[in-house]
Every structure is written in structure tokens, then in C-alpha cells.
Chain A
Amino acid sequence: MRTYAELIAEFKNIAENPRKAMEAFKAETGKGAVGILPAHVPEEIVHAAGYLPIGIWGAQKKAINKARTYLPPFACSLMQSVMELQLEGVYDELDCVIYSSLCDTLKCMNQKWHGKTPVIVFTHPQNRKIAKKAANVFCREEYAIVKAKLEDILECTITNKAIQNSIAVYNENRAACRKFCDVAAEYAAVVKPAERHAVLKARWFMEKSKHTDLVNELIAALTAQPAPKFTGKRVIVSGIMLEPTELLDVFEENGLAIVADDLLHESRSFRQDVPEDADALMALARAWTDFDGCALATDADKPKGRMIIEDCKKYNADAVIVAMMKFCDPEEFDYPILIQEFAAAGIPNLQIEIDQESTVFEQVKTRIQTFAEIL
């Protein structure tokens, strides 16, 4: 049995080398990879085709130059990075990429793809909570179009049965990731923030059943010993993503453990299973209309704050840190609601800015250190 440290090293290696992970998959299966842009793309359809769905989440500390020709200065940091990379041809080895249209930037970006690969664009219905039945029908049809385009590009047939199998594989992986997050909270003295992140980031670059096996092996290695006492503070993080990795090191340096998250890059992608349905595409559509707590998914009831507050109780968290993606309008619109709800619940909270291009972290160090000092 491999040790915790050995397994974390493997997760880190995969998380830091997506190209290597893709090449290994291609060598093993003889099939290719499909780029999955953020956010809420039904990856299961790609998985059912036997291809590797590979997450496209920009790059850390990548200087933005060429992208500025094509994007307004206030486009979010993540999409600036994605544009820079596509202009450099980084995504050209993919068989295609799939884009949703969940924010203004995604909607515009998916119309000006500069890579060489074909692009599949689809729309999520945002009437999902007020006209669920109609939204399910619309969403299912959108997913059917995605499936048909994929079949055409990849020259294959994707059956209902194959998607159902993939949904089962993904649900199993979601359960394993949720279990890992719970165990990581219990073993807060062992699982460093950057390690937790590497485990969950690797998920975007691996065939999901393999990721599940590796996560389960990690959980077994971790729980082989009793959990040591954690003397620092326990925080929950919310936002699109929490990178560059140096930010996670700042958490560790200041004695902060991440005991749960509400990140699109992490828990929002696996906190809810796809329901059972004889019609696999309808099952995926229902997952979208059931989903709660994401700024990109319209819900006038705004349950996100309440969900995070519930998690604070569940995980005995001391505070919430909101990792605000620079120039992400949907997240910024939700933030005033969140801080009012946190204040009413007496939950200390802090906002830090996420800019993938950052190479200097002094200001965020001051914010996080001060926050840790007052907790």
C-alpha cells in the first residue's frame, strides 16, 4: 500500500502536468481528449464516447499578452488566461472543446475561439427553478445537440446506455470526492490546503474511474492512522477557483485549514449526483435544474449563503474566505448578499482576489495573516 505522501505526489504530478495525463490516456486507449471549459458542462457525454474530458482552467502565473488584443481589459482573469493559451495553440491537440454560455464572457468567448479544434457551444436554460419542466425539456435538447455534434466530430455513436454507464462512473467519483473532503476536514492537521487542492484538481485531467480508485487509495492511507489534533483555524472557501498554488501556501503558513469549499473548480462540480432516469440526457438535464448554489445558475431564492452557513456548522468552521475571481460579474453580484448573511450569522469572513496572472502575493498575505490573527 502506498503512503499518503506518495499518493499526494502522484496527484500533484497529474494536477501540474495535464498534457502528460492526456498523452498517457491517448497511449492507453488510442482515443483522444475533449476540452471542457468552465462551467457545468455535461462531461458524461464525452466520457460515454470513450474520450478523455479534460478541464480547461487557464494557467497559473501566465503573463497575458496576446489575449489583450481580443478581450476587453475587464474580462475575468480565468478567460484571459484561456484566451492566451488558445492563441499559443496549447489546446490544438484536443479533438474539440465544449463551451457553455453561462456568463457574458463565456458567451462572447465561445464565439471567438482561436484554437484549431472544433468548438461545440450550448446554452443552459436559466428558467430552471421557475419553469422546471420546460427547462428540463430545453436542456435535454441542448445536450442532445451536444451529443450529435460530438458524434459527428469524433465519428462515433454515443448510446443512451453508454451515457448511463458514464453517469454511474461520475456519481461514484463524486461520492469519493465528497468523502475525501470530509476526511480531509477530519485530518486537517495532515492534509495541507495545497494537497487537498491537488487531489481535486487532478480530477479534471483523469478518467474518472481512475481518479476514484486513486482517491479511495488516498482515503485508506490517510485513515490508517488516527487523526492528529489540529490547532489552527478551520475555514471554508467559496468562489470560482483558488489558485495560484502560492495562495494555498499562504493559508498553510497562517495555520488555516480548508475544511470545505464552495468552489466551482472543486466541490460545486461534485457535491450533487446526477439523478437516475431511463433517459440519460434527461437525467443530466435534471441535474442542472436541481443544482443549487452557484452564481452562474439563476435562482432568485439565492440559497448559496445559507448553504455555506450550513457547512460552517457541519464542519465546525471558524470563518469563510471568498476567493473572488477578478472581474467575475456573477460572483461579484452575489457577494453583497453573502456578506450580509455571514454578518447576520456571526461568521467572520474575508474576500481575497483571484488573478491567475499574479506572481506577487504580498497584499493577500497581509489580508490572510491579519484575518488569521483576529480569528
Chain B
Amino acid sequence: MVYTLGIDIGSSSSKALILADGKDIVSSAAIQVGTGTSGPGRVMEEVFRDTGLSLEDIAFTVATGYGRFSVKEADKQISEITCHAKGIFHLIPGARTIIDIGGQDAKAIRLGDNGNILQFYMNDKCAAGTGRFLDVMSRVLEIPLDNMGDAHFKATEWAAVSSTCTVFAESEVISQLSNGVPRENIVAGVHKSVATKTCALVRRCGELQQEVVMCGGVAKNPGAVDAMEKALGAKITVAPNPQITGALGAALLAWEAYQKQQ
């Protein structure tokens, strides 16, 4: 049995996954703090827990994500866009459009029939349309991030929230709250704002290609997915365990790199 390890160190979470012979997931772990924190160390401990394996048993390690260059155990660093594309295509071979919204990045990726990346776009240096935007709004609205999805589906109408700037949008939300707009309606408006921003990235990749798959931490929020579906006018498949697809892709690429070495 040959084990490969994928480590995805993002801006707000750390993920790791061990793969056996390039196909079977032995273990995976996610810690909700990212690069520069205890997250990378803790996720490494977590992913090996109860596996009977240690780092010496790993044949090849690929690091990805914002903090990929700080992972000293890695044999190679590969960008998270390549890793997410690899992971998603492995899980869902019909995927042709990927929407990945993480802590501070949003990406639209267009895949070819063999899973190769044809085009990709990332957000500008701006928190609007990313997980951080939802984080800020969750605090202002006093609704925990995990409950944002439920609140979204209770909305009677979607409030207008700007998609231009997190700071301006925060002011808008505060004034909506002081005007008595129901919080659920504002939550839906916040999700619409994220969807609008991300849709612009998707459209830059050209005509929308099905199947559309969403991954990254924000994909765990059904309200954000619903807003994205409405904005795109298309059904979205949420990747199984969407936060871990980058680490899966990294482990798969580690397997390929290992085979190339042999």
C-alpha cells in the first residue's frame, strides 16, 4: 500500500487528507483556523490520528492553499485551483464549471472533458464575495455562520445589499437593521450579494458549462448555494465534503508525482 498526503492550508482553515494507492481515502481532517495559526500543526495530528500511520509512511506530500509554501513536510507545492479541479473531477467526472469560495478567495474554474483547466478567474484583492464577507455579516446580524442557511430560507423577500465592498455592505446591513428589515431577509440579500460577485467570475470563463459544482467552505451554506443557483439560472451540485476537495486533489497529484518518480 502506498500512501500520499494532501495538505490544504487556507486563510481561515487547514485541511489534510491521506490517500491509499491514489484511490481510497484513509483519513481526512479539517481545522477551522488557517495559515499562521496552530491550524496546520493540529490538522497534521488530526489526519494521522487512529490511522496507525505516521509521516514516515507517506510516499509523497503535496501542499496547496494560501499557506502552501509554509508546509515544510511538503515535497511539492501546487496551487489550490489545480488541486480543487483535480479533487472535484475525481469525485464528479461530469463537472465542467467549479465555483470555489473560500475564506478570502473566490474562484471560477472551467474544466475540459478530461478534467484539464481551460480557464480560471479569481476575485480581486477584496473581501466582497468571499467567506470573509459572510463572516463579517454574520457578526453584524448576530446569526452564527452555521445558521445563515436556515435563516436564508425563512426570508419573505431578499433585501438589497451591495456587492461592491464589504465595508460599505456592512454599513448597508446596519442601516437595514435599524430600519427594521427582518434579519432573514438581510441574510438572503447578503447571500445574493456573494452570488452576484461570484457569478461575474463564472461568466468571464465563457458560456456556462454544466455540471456546475461548488466547493470551498461557503458551499456548506445552503443559502449561499441557493442564491448562486438563482443568480446563475442553473442547478449546482455541492461537492461531497466541499471543504476537503483541495486536499483530495493535492493527495491525488501527490500520487501522480510518486508514480512519475518510480
Residues of chain A having any CB pair with chain B under 8 Å: 343, 353, 355, 362-363, 366-367, 369-370, 373-374
Residues in B whose Cβ lies below 8 Å from that of A367: 122
CB within 8 Å for A363 and B79 given contacts A374-B116, A374-B117: no
Residues in A whose Cβ lies below 8 Å from that of B105: 363, 366
Residue in A355, A362, A363, A370 whose beta carbon sits within 8 Å of that of B120 in the complex:
A370
A362 touches B66 (CB 8 A): yes
A370 touches B79 (CB 8 A): yes
CB distance from A111 to the nearest CB of B (A): 29
CB distance from B11 to the nearest CB of A (A): 9
B210 close to chain A: CB less than 8 A: no
* Residue of A353, A363, A370 with highest tally of chain B CB at under 10 A: A370
Q: How many Å lie between the Cα of A373 and that of B80 in the bound state?
A: 11
B78 close to chain A: CB less than 8 A: yes
Task: Categorize the interface residue count of chain B.
Answer: 10 to 19
CB within 8 Å for A374 and B82 given contacts A362-B66, A363-B105: yes
Q: What residue of chain B has the Cβ atom nearest to residue A350's Cβ?
A: B120
B124 touches A366 (CB 8 A): no
CB within 8 Å for A366 and B125 given contacts A373-B82, A374-B117: no
B82 touches A363 (CB 8 A): no
B125 touches A373 (CB 8 A): no
B169 close to chain A: CB less than 8 A: no
B5 close to chain A: CB less than 8 A: no
A353 touches B125 (CB 8 A): yes
A370 touches B82 (CB 8 A): yes
Residue in B81, B116, B117, B206 whose beta carbon sits within 8 Å of that of A366 in the complex:
B81
Name the 9 nearest CB pairs between A and B, nearest first: A370-B79, A370-B81, A369-B79, A374-B117, A373-B82, A366-B79, A370-B82, A362-B66, A367-B122
Residues in B whose Cβ lies below 8 Å from that of A362: 66
Residues in A whose Cβ lies below 8 Å from that of B206: 343
Q: How many Å lie between the Cα of A367 and that of B105 in the bound state?
A: 11
Residues in B whose Cβ lies below 8 Å from that of A370: 79, 81-82, 117, 120
A373 touches B78 (CB 8 A): yes
CB distance from B160 to the nearest CB of A (A): 23
Residues in A whose Cβ lies below 8 Å from that of B124: 353
Q: What residue of chain A has the Cβ atom nearest to residue B69's Cβ?
A: A365
A363 touches B81 (CB 8 A): no
Residue in B78, B117, B122 whose beta carbon sits within 8 Å of that of A363 in the complex:
B122
Q: How many Å lie between the Cα of A369 and that of B66 in the bound state?
A: 12
Given contacts A362-B66, A370-B82, 9 further A-B contacts (CB under 8 A): A353-B125, A366-B79, A366-B105, A366-B122, A369-B78, A370-B120, A373-B117, A374-B82, A374-B116
Q: What residue of chain B has the Cβ atom nearest to residue A363's Cβ?
A: B125
Indicate with 1 or 0, residue by residue over B74-96, a CB within 8 angstroms of chain A CB atoms: 00011111100000000000000
Residues in B whose Cβ lies below 8 Å from that of A373: 78-79, 82, 117
Interface residues of B in 192-251 (CB under 8 A from A): 206
Q: What residue of chain A has the Cβ atom nearest to residue B112's Cβ?
A: A374
Residues in A whose Cβ lies below 8 Å from that of B78: 369, 373
Q: How many Å lie between the Cα of A315 and that of B105 in the bound state?
A: 34
Indicate with 1 or 0, residue by residue over B112-143, a CB within 8 angstroms of chain A CB atoms: 00001100101011000000000000000000
Residues in A whose Cβ lies below 8 Å from that of B120: 370, 374
CB distance from B129 to the nearest CB of A (A): 14
Residues in B whose Cβ lies below 8 Å from that of A363: 105, 122, 125
* CB<8 Å pairs between A and B, sample of 16: A353-B125, A355-B125, A362-B66, A363-B105, A363-B125, A366-B79, A367-B122, A369-B79, A370-B81, A370-B82, A370-B117, A370-B120, A373-B79, A373-B82, A374-B82, A374-B117
CB distance from A334 to the nearest CB of B (A): 16
CB distance from B245 to the nearest CB of A (A): 15
Residues in B whose Cβ lies below 8 Å from that of A369: 77-79
Residues in B whose Cβ lies below 8 Å from that of A374: 82, 116-117, 120
CB distance from B127 to the nearest CB of A (A): 12
Q: What residue of chain A has the Cβ atom nearest to residue B80's Cβ?
A: A366
Q: How many Å lie between the Cα of A353 and that of B77 in the bound state?
A: 23
Q: How many Å lie between the Cα of A269 and that of B111 in the bound state?
A: 39
Residues in A whose Cβ lies below 8 Å from that of B82: 370, 373-374
Indicate with 1 or 0, residue by residue over B98-109, a CB within 8 angstroms of chain A CB atoms: 000000010000
Q: How many Å lie between the Cα of A366 and that of B78 in the bound state?
A: 9
Q: What residue of chain B has the Cβ atom nearest to residue A367's Cβ?
A: B122
Q: How many Å lie between the Cα of A355 and that of B122 in the bound state?
A: 16
Q: What residue of chain B has the Cβ atom nearest to residue A369's Cβ?
A: B79
* Residue of B77, B82, B124 with highest tally of chain A CB at under 10 A: B82
Q: How many Å lie between the Cα of A343 and that of B206 in the bound state?
A: 10
Residues in A whose Cβ lies below 8 Å from that of B66: 362, 366
